[in-house]
Amino acid sequence: MKHLDSRARVHLEWMFENQPQLVQQLHKAGKLLPHLEKKEAQALRLVDRLKAERGMDEEEAFQVAMESVLAPADGPALGDNPPAPLPLHEQARVWKALDPS
């Protein structure tokens, strides 16, 4: 199994806090890794678009992609009724399944 890219790790950490039930559902269905890869690809497409259309440098474009795709600041965890984060023992199980090294 490949190692999770740092961008996928960022999104997974965000999901632990903001979408814990979705993490569990996707993990149980064996679809968590494809979801993370899809989000990573979405972020990279946005970086490329921002660089081409707005002339942003890589770092600036990646920051925008981070804030809009991988770890939005307006996630449910910061709302009025935040979800309970995925328990640490569950997080550890997910990490081990996705990146066993």
Question: Which whole number is the average pLDDT over 8-16?
Answer: 95
User: What is the rounded CA–CA span in Å between residue 70 and residue 47?
Assistant: 12
Q: In the predicted model, is pLDDT for residue 17 greater than 60?
A: yes
The whole-model pTM stands at 0.89
Q: In the predicted model, is pLDDT for residue 1 greater than 70?
A: no
Question: Which whole number is the average pLDDT over 34-59?
Answer: 96
Q: In the predicted model, is pLDDT for residue 21 greater than 90?
A: yes
